[in-house]
Structure 1
């Protein structure tokens, strides 16, 4: 199963985290917003669609930059593999708000590690932090 997610980064270099709906798998855990790629969709178009549905924002696919990915089982103990592609995005139209989840918050990437994250989102966060540490020469 292919899933796409976005690390929305604001002017203060904070990342937006989205809290999963309580009634869904991993309900109440924090994640990068996004969702499943539908049949016939390219990942970037799927992510733009998901961000509009979940957060009420408009994103141009040209403003998405590949960051990292994570893999694992879609459901613990199940054989269905899940691949999440994480993109960064610094430009969008509208104010992100939780239309489908339990809330959103902005945080420094290091602060996000203290959140109760969905398992693969923890991997994505580590990849994102590593990417920016390399870019800064740390």
Structure 2
């Protein structure tokens, strides 16, 4: 079965809300919501197709767009490649030029709408930022929490409370304070044994590669309302992450790092190849920082993750 190449757009308004459209009842997956777009014509560049489709569907002119994520999905009756772009600036006032209902929704509201199955990774990518802060090792709790507070004030939206010393009671106490600090401001990702899941219902969970290998065959350990991530280093672990139904992963190390000097770096080319075979958002980790964000996007990544490069100075 031939794979149908489709472009789709995560269109952001000036207030950060995202534009979605409802599919006509007569269409494939009719009645569900979608990100506007349509088929790429033979020989047409995806960016050109995006501009054409959004002009036809919404009456807008794309002024600024970048690749966000590519998703391959196989329905029983068709195979699609969703080539998704983030549109951050456009001319004109969007309207349902083909009679389709539209809605502007916040990232938090997106999961309340019913999308086709292929759109699940796009919903995740639309809700995630481009930077993932991982807290450093070796700080006493007060210093760590002050640093997190400063990072949130500077705009950090996704924070992992790292657990380098193992999963001890001190980490749990720290996690309680971190949950309070992030409430309503940033998404906190915790690490630790899955037995702790019930104690922190508002936090997401970031699995180690070891946990991923252990638990992936059992499937997702909690419902989709909660963020689930995993640390991956190769194609095998990415396949396990897909099997488990994670929402996003970190892929590392891209370049040599001080923290793991013995780890063999993937390099940008191999990282791009691995991302190309994976359908969920990927944060590149290891020797990268905000300066590499554009390069990460060009590789197909959601963004970059890091410790030193993102931790606020002072």
TM score, norm. by length of structure 2:
0.40
Higher relative contact order (CA 8 A, sep 6+): 1
Number of paired residues?
133
Q: 1:133 to 1:100 in 2, by over 3 A?
A: farther
Q: Secondary structure at the match of 1:77?
A: coil
**Matched residue, 2:71:** 70
Higher Cα radius of gyration: 2
Distance 1:18 1:133 in 2: 28
Distance 1:132 1:36 in 2: 27
**Matched residue, 1:85:** 83
Q: 1:132 to 1:107 in 2, by over 3 A?
A: farther
- Which one has a larger percent helix, Structure 1 or Structure 2? 2
1:1-138 equivalences in 2 (<5 Å)? 1-60=4-63, 63-73=64-74, 76-78=75-77, 80-132=78-130, 134=132, 136=156, 138=158
Shift of 1:131: 4.2
CA RMSD of aligned residues (A): 1.7
Q: Secondary structure at the match of 1:92?
A: strand
TM score, norm. by length of structure 1:
0.87
Q: Secondary structure at the match of 1:44?
A: helix
Shift of 1:137: 5.2
Distance 2:32 2:70 in 1: 19
**Matched residue, 2:307:** none
Shift of 1:119: 1.5
4+ runs deviating over 6 angstroms: none
Q: Secondary structure at the match of 2:47?
A: helix
